[in-house]
Amino acid sequence: MDVRPNQTIYINNLNEKIKKEELKKSLYAIFSQFGQILDIVALKTLKMRGQAFVIFKEIGSASNALRTMQGFPFYDKPMRIAYSKSDSDIVAKLKGTFKERPKKVKVTKVVPGTDDKKDKRKKPASTENAAPSTQTEQPPNQILFLTNLPEETNEMMLSMLFNQFPGFKEVRLVPNRHDIAFVEFTTELQSNAAKEALQGFKITPTHAMKITFAKK
Protein backbone atom coordinates (compact mmCIF):
# COMPACT_ATOMS: atom_id res chain seq x y z
CA MET A 1 0.00 0.00 0.00
CA ASP A 2 3.05 2.25 0.08
CA VAL A 3 2.94 5.28 -2.16
CA ARG A 4 5.62 5.23 -4.86
CA PRO A 5 8.53 7.64 -4.31
CA ASN A 6 8.05 10.95 -6.11
CA GLN A 7 9.47 14.43 -5.77
CA THR A 8 6.71 15.75 -3.49
CA ILE A 9 6.72 14.94 0.21
CA TYR A 10 3.67 15.37 2.42
CA ILE A 11 4.28 16.51 6.00
CA ASN A 12 1.73 16.49 8.80
CA ASN A 13 1.62 16.84 12.58
CA LEU A 14 2.95 20.41 12.17
CA ASN A 15 2.39 23.01 14.87
CA GLU A 16 -0.85 24.77 13.89
CA LYS A 17 -0.01 27.94 15.83
CA ILE A 18 2.82 28.92 13.48
CA LYS A 19 1.96 31.56 10.87
CA LYS A 20 1.88 30.32 7.29
CA GLU A 21 4.75 32.50 6.00
CA GLU A 22 7.01 31.66 8.95
CA LEU A 23 6.19 27.97 8.54
CA LYS A 24 7.15 28.04 4.85
CA LYS A 25 10.42 29.88 5.54
CA SER A 26 11.37 27.44 8.31
CA LEU A 27 10.53 24.43 6.10
CA TYR A 28 12.65 25.91 3.31
CA ALA A 29 15.55 26.46 5.74
CA ILE A 30 15.67 22.84 6.90
CA PHE A 31 14.74 21.05 3.65
CA SER A 32 16.83 23.00 1.11
CA GLN A 33 19.94 21.11 2.31
CA PHE A 34 18.58 18.03 0.45
CA GLY A 35 18.30 19.64 -2.99
CA GLN A 36 16.54 22.27 -5.05
CA ILE A 37 13.01 23.03 -3.85
CA LEU A 38 10.51 24.09 -6.50
CA ASP A 39 7.82 25.07 -4.04
CA ILE A 40 6.46 24.68 -0.53
CA VAL A 41 2.69 24.63 -0.11
CA ALA A 42 1.12 25.22 3.29
CA LEU A 43 -2.57 26.06 3.55
CA LYS A 44 -4.30 27.36 6.65
CA THR A 45 -7.75 26.07 5.77
CA LEU A 46 -9.45 23.94 8.43
CA LYS A 47 -8.94 20.77 6.39
CA MET A 48 -5.26 21.47 5.66
CA ARG A 49 -4.03 22.89 8.99
CA GLY A 50 -0.87 21.31 10.38
CA GLN A 51 0.09 19.97 6.95
CA ALA A 52 2.41 21.01 4.14
CA PHE A 53 3.83 19.80 0.84
CA VAL A 54 7.48 20.26 -0.15
CA ILE A 55 8.05 19.84 -3.88
CA PHE A 56 11.65 19.00 -4.82
CA LYS A 57 13.12 19.08 -8.31
CA GLU A 58 14.55 15.55 -7.94
CA ILE A 59 13.02 12.38 -6.49
CA GLY A 60 16.36 11.56 -4.81
CA SER A 61 16.19 14.80 -2.82
CA ALA A 62 12.67 13.96 -1.62
CA SER A 63 13.73 10.42 -0.61
CA ASN A 64 16.75 11.68 1.32
CA ALA A 65 14.66 14.36 3.06
CA LEU A 66 11.97 11.83 4.03
CA ARG A 67 14.49 9.40 5.54
CA THR A 68 16.59 12.03 7.34
CA MET A 69 13.83 14.28 8.71
CA GLN A 70 11.25 11.64 9.70
CA GLY A 71 10.23 12.40 13.30
CA PHE A 72 12.41 15.54 13.43
CA PRO A 73 11.18 17.85 16.23
CA PHE A 74 9.85 20.90 14.39
CA TYR A 75 8.38 23.63 16.62
CA ASP A 76 8.17 21.03 19.43
CA LYS A 77 6.23 18.44 17.39
CA PRO A 78 7.77 15.45 15.56
CA MET A 79 7.20 15.71 11.81
CA ARG A 80 5.39 12.86 10.07
CA ILE A 81 6.56 12.63 6.46
CA ALA A 82 5.33 10.51 3.55
CA TYR A 83 5.50 10.68 -0.22
CA SER A 84 2.58 12.59 -1.63
CA LYS A 85 0.00 10.40 -3.37
CA SER A 86 0.66 11.12 -7.01
CA ASP A 87 -3.00 10.73 -7.91
CA SER A 88 -4.16 13.07 -5.16
CA ASP A 89 -6.38 15.83 -6.52
CA ILE A 90 -5.05 18.38 -4.08
CA VAL A 91 -1.39 17.88 -5.08
CA ALA A 92 -2.31 18.04 -8.76
CA LYS A 93 -4.05 21.35 -8.10
CA LEU A 94 -1.19 22.66 -5.99
CA LYS A 95 1.40 21.69 -8.58
CA GLY A 96 -0.69 23.47 -11.18
CA THR A 97 -0.80 26.67 -9.15
CA PHE A 98 2.75 26.86 -7.91
CA LYS A 99 4.10 28.16 -11.21
CA GLU A 100 2.69 31.66 -10.65
CA ARG A 101 3.66 31.89 -7.01
CA PRO A 102 7.47 32.07 -7.03
CA LYS A 103 7.35 35.35 -8.99
CA LYS A 104 5.41 37.00 -6.17
CA VAL A 105 7.71 35.58 -3.51
CA LYS A 106 10.80 36.83 -5.31
CA VAL A 107 9.42 40.33 -5.65
CA THR A 108 8.67 40.59 -1.93
CA LYS A 109 12.01 39.13 -0.93
CA VAL A 110 14.24 41.41 -2.98
CA VAL A 111 16.30 43.55 -0.65
CA PRO A 112 18.40 46.35 -2.16
CA GLY A 113 21.99 45.26 -2.48
CA THR A 114 21.38 41.51 -2.29
CA ASP A 115 20.31 40.69 -5.83
CA ASP A 116 23.69 41.45 -7.35
CA LYS A 117 26.80 39.37 -6.75
CA LYS A 118 28.98 42.48 -6.68
CA ASP A 119 26.79 43.93 -3.95
CA LYS A 120 27.13 40.74 -1.96
CA ARG A 121 30.90 41.14 -1.95
CA LYS A 122 30.61 44.71 -0.79
CA LYS A 123 28.18 43.91 2.01
CA PRO A 124 30.66 42.59 4.60
CA ALA A 125 32.42 45.98 4.46
CA SER A 126 29.42 47.48 6.27
CA THR A 127 30.05 45.17 9.23
CA GLU A 128 33.75 45.99 9.40
CA ASN A 129 33.35 48.63 12.08
CA ALA A 130 31.13 46.44 14.21
CA ALA A 131 33.24 43.29 13.91
CA PRO A 132 36.62 43.88 12.25
CA SER A 133 37.77 40.44 13.40
CA THR A 134 35.57 38.72 10.79
CA GLN A 135 37.82 39.84 7.97
CA THR A 136 40.73 37.67 9.19
CA GLU A 137 40.18 34.03 10.01
CA GLN A 138 40.19 33.40 13.77
CA PRO A 139 41.85 30.29 15.24
CA PRO A 140 39.40 27.37 15.61
CA ASN A 141 37.20 27.42 18.69
CA GLN A 142 33.78 26.11 19.69
CA ILE A 143 31.84 29.27 18.76
CA LEU A 144 30.90 30.10 15.17
CA PHE A 145 30.15 33.60 13.88
CA LEU A 146 27.52 33.77 11.11
CA THR A 147 27.16 36.72 8.72
CA ASN A 148 25.08 37.62 5.65
CA LEU A 149 21.90 36.25 7.22
CA PRO A 150 18.56 37.33 5.68
CA GLU A 151 16.15 39.65 7.47
CA GLU A 152 13.68 36.87 8.32
CA THR A 153 16.29 34.78 10.18
CA ASN A 154 15.14 33.65 13.61
CA GLU A 155 16.56 31.51 16.40
CA MET A 156 14.31 28.55 15.51
CA MET A 157 15.53 28.47 11.89
CA LEU A 158 19.22 28.50 12.87
CA SER A 159 18.70 25.96 15.66
CA MET A 160 17.07 23.55 13.20
CA LEU A 161 19.98 23.95 10.79
CA PHE A 162 22.73 23.46 13.36
CA ASN A 163 21.22 20.96 15.82
CA GLN A 164 21.65 18.17 13.25
CA PHE A 165 25.38 18.33 14.14
CA PRO A 166 26.78 16.61 17.28
CA GLY A 167 27.72 18.89 20.16
CA PHE A 168 25.30 21.70 19.28
CA LYS A 169 24.64 23.87 22.37
CA GLU A 170 22.84 27.09 21.43
CA VAL A 171 22.20 29.90 18.96
CA ARG A 172 22.70 33.50 20.08
CA LEU A 173 21.17 36.29 18.04
CA VAL A 174 22.50 39.84 18.27
CA PRO A 175 19.90 42.45 19.33
CA ASN A 176 18.98 44.88 16.53
CA ARG A 177 21.15 42.98 14.02
CA HIS A 178 19.30 40.44 11.86
CA ASP A 179 22.34 39.70 9.67
CA ILE A 180 24.69 38.16 12.26
CA ALA A 181 24.50 35.43 14.92
CA PHE A 182 26.66 33.15 17.06
CA VAL A 183 26.35 29.36 17.34
CA GLU A 184 28.06 27.48 20.16
CA PHE A 185 29.22 23.84 20.14
CA THR A 186 30.82 21.71 22.86
CA THR A 187 34.20 21.38 21.12
CA GLU A 188 36.04 23.11 18.30
CA LEU A 189 36.09 19.88 16.27
CA GLN A 190 32.30 19.79 16.35
CA SER A 191 31.97 23.48 15.47
CA ASN A 192 34.42 22.99 12.58
CA ALA A 193 32.36 20.09 11.18
CA ALA A 194 29.24 22.29 11.15
CA LYS A 195 31.21 25.19 9.65
CA GLU A 196 32.50 23.03 6.79
CA ALA A 197 29.07 21.51 6.08
CA LEU A 198 27.02 24.73 6.13
CA GLN A 199 29.50 27.23 4.69
CA GLY A 200 27.69 29.11 1.91
CA PHE A 201 24.34 27.48 2.78
CA LYS A 202 21.51 29.52 1.27
CA ILE A 203 18.84 30.23 3.86
CA THR A 204 17.04 32.13 1.09
CA PRO A 205 17.93 32.12 -2.63
CA THR A 206 19.73 35.49 -2.29
CA HIS A 207 21.64 34.99 0.98
CA ALA A 208 24.58 32.57 1.21
CA MET A 209 25.55 32.27 4.86
CA LYS A 210 29.18 33.05 5.71
CA ILE A 211 30.67 31.22 8.70
CA THR A 212 33.89 31.99 10.57
CA PHE A 213 35.17 31.19 14.04
CA ALA A 214 34.19 33.83 16.59
CA LYS A 215 36.80 36.06 18.18
CA LYS A 216 37.69 34.75 21.62
In a domain, 105, yes or no: no
Q: Structurally, how many domains does the chain consist of?
A: 2
In a domain, 17, yes or no: yes
The conformation of residue 57, written as its DSSP 8-state character, comes to: S
Q: Is the pLDDT of residue 9 over 80?
A: yes
In a domain, 101, yes or no: no
Closest among 74, 101, 61 to 11, alpha carbons compared: 74
| Distance from C-alpha of 184 to C-alpha of 19, rounded to nearest angstrom | 28
| Distance from C-alpha of 202 to C-alpha of 32, rounded to nearest angstrom | 8
My answer on whether 88 and 161 are in the same domain is no
Pick the last residue of a domain from 95, 111, 132: 95
Residue 212 · residue 143 · CB < 8 Å: no
My answer on whether 147 and 89 are in the same domain is no
Q: What is the CATH number of the domain that holds 39?
A: 3.30.70.330
pLDDT score at 166:
85
Q: Mean pLDDT throughout 88-101?
A: 50
In a domain, 111, yes or no: no
Across all residues in the chain, what is the average pLDDT?
79
pLDDT score at 78:
92
Strand extents, DSSP E, 57-209: 73-74, 77-78, 80-83, 143-147, 168-174, 177-185, 202-204, 207-208
195 in helix, strand or coil? helix
The enclosing H or E element of 198 equals: helix 188-198
Residue 171 φ then ψ, to 5°: -110, 135
My answer on whether 82 and 161 are in the same domain is no
Pick the last residue of a domain from 31, 63, 95: 95
SS3 percent helix, strand, coil of the chain, rounded to 5, is 35, 25, 40
Q: Domain range holding 189?
A: 143-213
In a domain, 176, yes or no: yes
pLDDT score at 22:
87
Pick the last residue of a domain from 95, 110, 125: 95
Of 14-18, 124-128, 165-169, 184-188, the least confident: 124-128
Q: What amino acid is encoded at 135 in this protein? A: Q
In a domain, 103, yes or no: no
| Distance from C-alpha of 60 to C-alpha of 44, rounded to nearest angstrom | 28
Model confidence pLDDT, tens digit, residues 182-199: 999 999 999 999 998 888
pLDDT score at 112:
53
Percent of the chain with pLDDT over 70: 75
163 in helix, strand or coil? coil
Q: How confident is the model at residue 86 (pLDDT cuts 50, 70, 90)?
A: low
My answer on whether 86 and 15 are in the same domain is yes
In a domain, 191, yes or no: yes
Q: Mean pLDDT throughout 28-53?
A: 86
Model confidence pLDDT, tens digit, residues 43-54: 777 778 889 999
In a domain, 62, yes or no: yes
Closest among 63, 52, 64, 43 to 3, alpha carbons compared: 63
pLDDT score at 130:
46
Residue 213 · residue 140 · CB < 8 Å: yes
pLDDT score at 159:
86
Q: How confident is the model at residue 2 (pLDDT cuts 50, 70, 90)?
A: low
